[in-house]
Structure formats: structure tokens, C-alpha cells
């Protein structure tokens, strides 16, 4: 049994192992900060609409940098841009920690999202590091293992906030996130290996015309990809409207409507993490066995009734059950989407194609974030009713129009 498990996980080495270790640092810090980020912003004077607007600004900056980021990933290589900008992300969280009001958070958001120019390179180097026949379980492991230490993170931040108050408690949490992010950057600096043969050194002077050249290159790559991948991208864009709403307004909803305490909310997020860990790798294996499409459909079948229960939940018990179901759906849908996208994308165009898919995905998040804030101010349940409609639409398109490839790209 143990020898079989070791054999199944033998591909976790080299860059994939380095990335997993760096994600452990990041995930622990994010898992502490995320449950209380929106309440922290509101505590610093931001209304729900401002919170949504801040998210929209962050996504807009991310779009601006992802286009050259996609180009850099394929021409200049993955490692150097990943390492430099990971340090920048770490520094950005200092503004969160010292913010006297929400405007300082805006500075941190702009800096962090600018530094995420390395995302296409990170996505590409991750895909490069996972064997074709292990992509379902590989992407699942890349999500699950870094989350193992985060089981206690939400309860730690919940305790800190309950002891020191929302503002001071979150300042402590964000300082911890700065330290953990710097640890991730140092890990990548010393141990990450380049996967592009003979990458060029990044020269700022050569990047003057990068947008024109990058866009031309991306469009050229887009024209060569199969029709199924284009339809899949449409689904990804539609479903992207859901993420900002849950990320930015679920915490406000549980405090304003569901009425749970800070520590109870930390426990709910811990339950979410534990279930994700327990079922992550087995479900990742199932993605490889039953296929990507069936896995994504199953995830939506779980999400739709769970969202209804979230909207009507009042109290800790039902909220815990809802997030337990969300955990199952999330573990399925993320790796399945990643695996199917990788299956359909040629390796030599992976940086550019994943870059444009990611860019379109983020473009959808800009209005979603602002719409979510506007709807929340009208009625806290409206943003989540909106996500419910989106889930149903995505399920229909996936069921009718997506077909898995007979041969997966290497």
C-alpha cells in the first residue's frame, strides 16, 4: 500500500516540489488573512461598493500585466520573472498591515497585482512539471499539499482577531503574511529551475513594444487552438463572475446575515480546508479516471444546491455543511478545468494561450467585482443569487458543447 502510494506520487520532485513548498508559505498566510479581509477593509472605512471597486481595480491592473507576462513566459523564461515578482508581492502586503484607512489598501492591491505579471509563467512552469497522464491528480496535489498546514490558519487568525480586535488583529496577521511571502520568494530564488531552453535575459529596453508584439503573438497562437478550447474559455469567462463575489462578500454575508462570530467563521474555513485535504487527492485521481468533463459537471451539480443553502443559512451548523459541500465542488472543478485546458493546449504555445485565457478570465472579474458590491448594498443575498444563475448557465454549456480530446497534448 505504502509502496504504491510512493509510486503514485513519484512525479512530485524538482520544480513541482519547489512550487508546492513555496505555496505552503503563501497559502498559510492567505488562509489567515482571507476570512477577514473584507471586514478589515470595511473597518477601515470602505463600503461594500468600495470593496467591490477595489477588487475591480486590482483585476484591471492584473489584465494590464498579464499580456506582457504571457509573452515573457515563453520568450524570457519562467524563473526570473517568477522570482523577482514574488518578492514584490511580499512587499505589497506591508501596505495592508500599516493601512490607516482603505486607501492604503488600494496601494497594496495595485502593487500586488502588478507583481502578478509572473502568473502566466507560474501557470506554464506548473504545467511543464506535471506528466500528461498525471495532470488530474497532479493539479489536485498542487492544490491539496500546500493546504495541509493551513488547516489551523483560519482558527489562528480568528483567535487573533477575537483577542485583539479586527483592526489590530489583522495588522498582526498581515505582518505574518509578509514574512511567509518572503520565505516563498527565497525558496523560489534558490531552488526553482528554468524549463525553457536558452531563455533570453529580460531587458527593459526590449519591452517598449511588448504589448504590440505580445498581442500579435497571442492572437496568432489563439487562431491555432481547437474549437473545444475556445468554448471551454467561454465557460471559464462566464464562471469567473462567481469568484470575486464569493471571495469579497461571503465574509460580510456570514457576519451580517448568517450571524456567526469571528472564531466560528474561522472554524467554518478550517472545515472547508480539512475536507479539501481529505478528498483532494482521491478526487484528483477520479478526474483522471472518469474524465475532465464529467468532473466539472459533477462540481456544478454540487455548487448549485449548496449556493441556495448558503443564501438561506442562518447559524453555524448549516453554514458549516454548506462550506463542506463547497469544498467538494472546489476540489473537483479547479484541477479538472486546469487539466482539460492543458490537455487541449500545445506545449510550445502554452504560455501565450494560458495567458490569454487567464486575461479574459480576469476581464470578467472586473465588472463582477463591482456588480457584486453594488448588489450587496441593495440586498446582501443578491450577489449570491447572481452566482447561482451563472452556475446553471455554465453547467448547460459544458454539458452540451464540450468534448474531451482523444489525444492529450504532451
Sign of the four-CA dihedral 92, 194, 70, 330: negative
Q: Are 59 and 369 in contact (CB under 8 A)?
A: yes
Cα of first residue to Cα of last residue in the chain, in angstroms, is 29
What's the Rg (C-alpha) of the chain? Answer: 20
Q: Provide the pLDDT for residue 66.
A: 75
| CA-based nearest residue to 37, from 313, 246, 268, 257 | 246
CB atoms within 10 A of CB 235: 20
Within 13 A of 202's CA, how many CA atoms are on the CB side? 19
CB atoms within 10 A of CB 93: 25
DSSP states along 96-161: HHH-SSHHHHHHHHHHHHHHGGGHHHHHHHHHHTS-GGGHHHHHHHHHHGGGGGGGGHHHHHHHHH
Superfamily for domain range 16-195+214-401: MFS general substrate transporter like domains (1.20.1250.20)
Q: Are 303 and 391 in contact (CB under 8 A)?
A: yes
Q: Provide the pLDDT for residue 28.
A: 94
Go through 164-194 and write b for each residue having 16 or more CB atoms within 10 A of its CB, e for each that does not.
Answer: eebeebbbbbbbbbbebbbbbbbbbbeebeb
Q: Provide the pLDDT for residue 148.
A: 84
Q: Provide the pLDDT for residue 9.
A: 67
Q: Are 171 and 45 in contact (CB under 8 A)?
A: no
Go through 70-80 and write b for each residue having 16 or more CB atoms within 10 A of its CB, e for each that does not.
Answer: bbbbbbbbbbb
Q: CA–CA distance from 281 to each of 5, 153, 269, 331 (Å)?
A: 11, 21, 19, 9
| CA-based nearest residue to 307, from 293, 295, 294, 325 | 325
CA 123/CA 195 separation, integer angstroms? 12
Dihedral angle of Cα 221, 222, 227, 233, to the nearest 10 degrees: 130
CA 134/CA 140 separation, integer angstroms? 10
Q: Are 161 and 262 in contact (CB under 8 A)?
A: yes
Q: Provide the pLDDT for residue 204.
A: 63
Q: Provide the pLDDT for residue 384.
A: 96
Q: Provide the pLDDT for residue 176.
A: 97
Q: Provide the pLDDT for residue 387.
A: 94
Question: SS3 of 215, please?
Answer: helix
Q: How many residues does the chain have?
A: 410
Which stretches of the chain drop beneath a pLDDT of 70? 1-10, 198-210, 214-215, 217-218, 221, 348-349, 351-352, 355, 405-410
Amino acid at each position: 500500500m505504502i509502496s504504491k502510494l510512493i509510486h503514485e506520487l513519484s512525479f512530485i520532485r524538482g520544480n513541482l516540489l519547489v512550487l508546492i513548498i513555496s505555496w505552503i508559505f503563501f497559502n498559510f498566510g492567505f488562509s489567515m488573512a482571507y476570512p477577514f479581509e473584507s471586514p478589515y477593509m470595511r473597518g477601515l472605512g470602505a463600503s461594500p461598493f468600495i470593496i467591490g471597486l477595489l477588487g475591480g481595480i486590482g483585476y484591471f491592473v492584473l489584465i494590464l500585466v498579464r499580456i506582457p507576462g504571457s509573452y515573457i513566459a515563453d520568450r524570457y523564461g519562467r524563473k526570473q520573472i517568477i522570482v523577482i515578482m514574488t518578492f514584490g508581492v511580499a512587499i505589497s502586503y506591508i501596505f495592508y498591515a500599516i493601512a490607516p484607512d482603505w486607501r492604503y489598501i488600494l496601494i497594496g492591491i495595485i502593487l500586488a497585482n502588478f507583481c502578478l505579471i509572473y502568473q502566466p509563467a507560474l501557470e506554464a512552469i506548473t504545467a511543464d512539471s506535471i506528466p500528461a497522464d498525471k495532470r488530474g491528480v497532479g493539479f489536485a496535489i498542487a492544490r491539496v499539499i500546500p493546504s495541509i498546514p493551513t488547516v489551523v490558519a483560519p482558527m489562528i487568525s480568528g483567535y487573533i482577531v477575537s483577542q485583539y480586535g479586527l483592526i489590530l488583529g489583522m495588522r498582526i496577521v498581515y505582518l505574518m503574511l509578509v514574512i511567509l511571502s518572503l520565505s516563498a520568494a527565497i525558496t523560489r530564488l534558490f531552488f526553482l529551475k528554468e524549463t525553457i531552453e536558452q531563455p533570453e535575459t529580460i531587458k527593459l529596453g526590449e519591452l517598449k513594444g511588448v504589448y504590440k508584439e505580445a498581442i500579435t503573438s497571442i492572437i496568432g497562437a489563439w487562431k491555432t487552438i481547437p474549437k473545444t478550447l475556445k468554448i471551454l474559455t467561454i465557460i471559464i469567462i462566464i464562471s469567473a463572475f462567481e469568484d470575486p463575489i464569493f471571495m469579497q462578500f461571503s465574509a460580510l454575508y456570514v457576519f451580517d446575515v448568517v450571524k456567526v462570530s469571528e472564531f466560528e467563521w474561522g472554524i467554518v474555513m478550517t472545515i472547508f480546508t480539512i475536507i479539501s485535504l481529505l478528498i483532494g487527492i482521491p478526487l484528483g485521481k477520479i478526474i483522471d479516471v472518469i474524465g475532465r468533463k464529467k468532473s466539472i459537471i459533477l462540481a456544478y451539480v454540487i455548487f448549485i444546491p449548496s449556493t441556495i443553502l448558503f443564501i438561506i443559512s442562518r447559524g453555524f451548523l448549516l453554514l458549516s455543511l454548506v462550506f463542506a459541500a463547497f469544498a467538494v465542488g472546489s476540489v473537483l472543478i479547479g484541477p479538472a478545468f486546469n487539466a482539460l485546458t492543458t490537455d487541449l493546449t500545445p506545449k510550445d504555445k502554452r504560455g501565450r494561450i494560458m495567458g490569454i485565457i487567464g486575461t479574459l478570465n480576469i476581464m470578467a472579474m472586473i465588472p463582477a467585482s463591482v456588480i457584486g458590491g453594488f448588489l450587496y448594498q441593495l440586498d446582501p443575498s443578491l450577489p449570491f443569487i447572481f452566482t447561482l444563475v451563472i452556475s446553471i448557465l455554465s453547467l448547460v454549456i459544458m454539458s452540451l458543447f464540450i468534448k474531451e480530446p482523444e489525444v492529450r497534448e504532451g
